[in-house]
Amino acid sequence: MNILVTNDDGIMAPGIYILKKHLEKKHNVYVVAPDVERSATGHAITIRNPLWAKKIYSNDEFLGYAVNGTPADCVKLGLDAIFKDVKIDMVISGINKGPNLGTDLLYSGTVSGALEGAMNEIPSIAISTSDYQNPNYETAAKFILDFLDKCSLDIPEFTALNINVPSVEYSELKGFKITRQSRRRYKDYFEARKDPFGNTYYWMLGEIIEDDNEPDSDYYVLKENYVSITPIKSFLTDFEFLNSLKEKFEGGE
């Protein structure tokens, strides 16, 4: 396959380099990634500034193109400009440092990179490793290569897979489970601080709320050393509530 790879940790992040090295064993890999870290940028795109693409080399080997934009920018530019003459079969975004679970999906540049691919009707995957402190990129890369090799994917249009891999040795993985997006979220607060000139600034802090302990939730299976695979869609309509509103306002109540 021809695979377009992006991330939100920046083109020099170890996760994207290791992912590329593994995918290249069986696929053609084309990298377009942010020039610096663009974590938590969501699905932002650049519309009022020019985008620059610079060739990047690592150990005298061509790695890919660095772009002064977001992950969504990178996918757009990769598909419609840099590699417009290549038939891209799949978009993979990652390997992210740290998990993307629950409400992370709304903030994550990694997930948005995959969803941008899905919006272009290309099968797309976001992949993350579960540990910020000691991320095991090798396990995540081995998993995705094996997953693509053994599992026939027929991903519906406008849909992507959000994959989170436990940060353990590959031999310790118990397998994978199909999961749903959990209600895992954050209780944020802001700490006021002073700079050396006496000006007040704010630092966002918070704690994770995990109160969705059903066995099919994304973070639950991850803690059990299973890979979590969650199908996600580009469109956000709440159809259950939509039908309820229709019944209430259009049904004669």
- Stretch 229-247: mean pLDDT: 95
pLDDT value, residue 252: 52
pLDDT level of residue 59 (50, 70, 90 thresholds) = confident
Residue 238 is assigned to a ligand binding site: no
- Stretch 46-75: mean pLDDT: 96
Q: What CA–CA distances, in Å, run from 226 to 22, 96, 135?
A: 21, 17, 16
Residue 228 is assigned to a ligand binding site: no
Could you give phi then psi for residue 149, rounded to 5 degrees?
A: -75, -40
Q: Tell me the domains of the chain and their CATH numbers.
A: 2-183+213-250 (3.40.1210.10)
Residue 195 is encoded by which pair of tokens? 């700079």
Residue 228: partners with Cβ closer than 8 Å, 6 or more residues away: 101, 162, 163, 164, 176, 177, 179, 218, 219, 221, 222
Q: Over 60: is that where the pLDDT of 210 sits?
A: yes
- Stretch 194-216: mean pLDDT: 95
- Stretch 206-232: mean pLDDT: 95
**Residue 10 and residue 33: Cα distance in Å, rounded?**
6
Residue 149 is assigned to a ligand binding site: no
pLDDT level of residue 85 (50, 70, 90 thresholds) = very high
Residue 225 is assigned to a ligand binding site: no
Angle at Cα 73 formed by Cα 72 and Cα 75, nearest 5°?
A: 65
pLDDT level of residue 226 (50, 70, 90 thresholds) = very high
Q: How confident is the model over 141-192, as pLDDT tens digits?
A: 999 999 999 888 889 999 999 999 999 999 999 999 999 999 999 999 999 9
Neighbours of 250 (CB within 10 A): 8
Q: In the block, which residue shows the tokens 């020019």?
A: 50
Nearest CA to 115 among 157, 77, 144?
Answer: 157
- Stretch 60-80: mean pLDDT: 97
Nearest CA to 33 among 89, 125, 110?
Answer: 110
- Stretch 22-46: mean pLDDT: 97
pLDDT value, residue 153: 82
User: 170: exposed, middle or buried (C-beta count within 10 Å: 0-12, 13-18, 19+)?
Assistant: middle
Nearest CA to 63 among 145, 125, 112, 5?
Answer: 5
pTM for this entry: 0.94
Kindly report the average pLDDT of the chain as a whole number: 96
Amino acid at 245: L
Q: CB–CB of 33/60 below 8 Å?
A: no
